[in-house]
Amino acid sequence: MFIIIAVLIFAFLIVVHELGHFLVAKMVGIQVDEFSIGFGPKLLGYRGRGDTVYSLRLLPLGGYVRMAGMDPKEDDRINGFNKKPLRDRFAVISAGSVMNFVTAIFLFFLTFSLIGVPAPSNSNTIGDVVPGSPAAQAGLRAGDRIVMVDGLPTQNWEDVAGGIRRGGQREISLTVERNGESFAVLVTPRYDPQLNMVQIGIKQHIIWEKQGFLRAVQLGLEQAIGFTRLIINSLIGLVTKAVPADEIAGPVGITKAIGDAAREGPGYLLTFTAVLGINLALINLLPIPALDGSKLMFLLIEGLRGKPVDPEKENFVHLIGFAILMVLFLIITYNDIMRILTGG
């Protein structure tokens, strides 16, 4: 089930990206020969106005836009990409990432306005139990209310957390309410060196607070900008080796992360999709051959030189870059699988 969700999310983000290229190409008068959802054999096709073929193909992993004039052999097409002014071509290439960024803001807005902003509740109800933790071993479940810790009544989460901390690493008694019944549980907290405190492995109950229209728009913008900065800093960290390269996640790792987000609920899934969209937007803008950022670099060089780079040389650079990306893709996928198998 989660693999299907991951495929749909990947496809959605890539189609949105290609839709950005498509819409701006149409706006500046470039002939779009085909707008395809998916790859492989064509399942359905429709020829719309302007001789654009809209097609649905067998493999739903994204899509593509085929524009006139992108191939050097099509140099004679008047309304081709290569015949348009530099600013129009720059706008078309950058539109994919812009569309991903705008979509991310919309997904944040949708989450905050219809589902809400997650906030920890101060109630004494358990929101989640960490697998393998002392709480899980003692049989505690999400939804249980801890009404007493070592004989002292609790009114809120602060009372629960304070009682557990006071017990140290000795065995403590919890009085728990579940489905209207009370029972006692014995549990021994563990010391967490990262938090410098004892824990039994329970999480607060999360409540979702819906936001008004303007507040949701504001938060959507703030989240998009915040995650953009975070991703840029991470990319800089990879270059400076401040962030280990083995922390990069590929399709397998992202699919697992999507599954984790889906288990947490629609709010987390929509938010994670928005963050993936920002990732896609920024990575595509990197000056790496075969990506949009490389094409933008060639356009900037053209603007500085006053004439375009030889199309055959440019295509050769993109071809080499694509081959390198495929090798990196395989390496990252291998690392993803090994992390999952080894529990890393």
Known catalytic residues are 18
Residue 136: alpha-carbon gap to chain centroid: 30
Which two structure tokens, joined as six digits, stand for 159?
A: 């009372």
Rg of the chain in Å (alpha carbons): 26
Q: With H, G, I as helix, E, B as strand and everything else as coil, classify residue 28.
A: coil
Q: Give the integer Cα–Cα distance in Å for 161 and 146.
A: 10
> What is the phi/psi pair of residue 37, to 5°?
-100, 115
> Can you give the length of the chain in residues?
344
Give buried/exposed letters for 65-85 (b at 16+ CB in 10 A, else e). bbbbbbeeebeebeebbbbbe
Q: Provide the 3-class DSSP secondary structure of residue 172.
A: strand
Tokens, residue 119:
């906030």
Q: For residues 6 and 255, is the Cβ–Cβ distance under 8 A? A: yes
Placement of tokens 């073929």 in the chain? 53
Looking at residue 71, its amino acid is D
Cα-to-chain-centroid distance, residue 239:
21
Q: Token pair of 4, please?
A: 């299907």
Q: Which residues pair with 117 in a beta bridge?
A: 209
Nearest to residue 251, comparing CAs of 12, 57, 6?
A: 6
For the chain, where are the E strands, in sequence order? 32-47, 53-67, 117-120, 126-129, 145-149, 152-153, 172-178, 181-187, 190-192, 197-199, 202-204, 206-209
